């Protein structure tokens, strides 16, 4: 499936696919990752060898929306 794939707009990652539609009757669902950008950038920094706090499902839940 498509779950975990990047959702890209204008060559920028805008979200992550959390559920892909099997056919035209089922929508694809993605979550907005913009508010998590600093966490993602920090986690992907090659020089960063320390542990980072992982956001819980409820942090910034109001920012997650179906697109």
Task: Provide the residue ranges of all domains of the chain, joining segments of one domain with +.
Answer: 1-46
Q: How much is the pLDDT for 1?
A: 60
Mean pLDDT split into 10-residue runs, the chain, 67 residues: 79 82 75 83 69 61 53
The Cβ of residue 49 has, within 10 Å, a number of other Cβ atoms equal to 6
Q: How much is the pLDDT for 32?
A: 85
Please enumerate in sequence order all residues whose Cβ is within 8 A of that of 43, keeping only pairs 6 or more positions apart, or say none.
Answer: 52
Q: How much is the pLDDT for 56?
A: 63
Please enumerate in sequence order all residues whose Cβ is within 8 A of that of 24, keeping only pairs 6 or more positions apart, or say none.
Answer: none
């Amino acid at each position: 499936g498509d779950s975990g794939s990047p959702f890209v707009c204008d060559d920028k990652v805008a979200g992550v696919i959390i559920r892909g539609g099997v056919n035209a009757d089922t929508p694809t669902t993605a979550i907005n990752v913009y508010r998590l950008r600093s966490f993602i950038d920090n986690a992907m920094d090659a020089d960063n060898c320390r542990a980072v706090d992982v956001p819980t499902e409820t942090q910034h839940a109001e920012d997650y929306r179906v697109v």
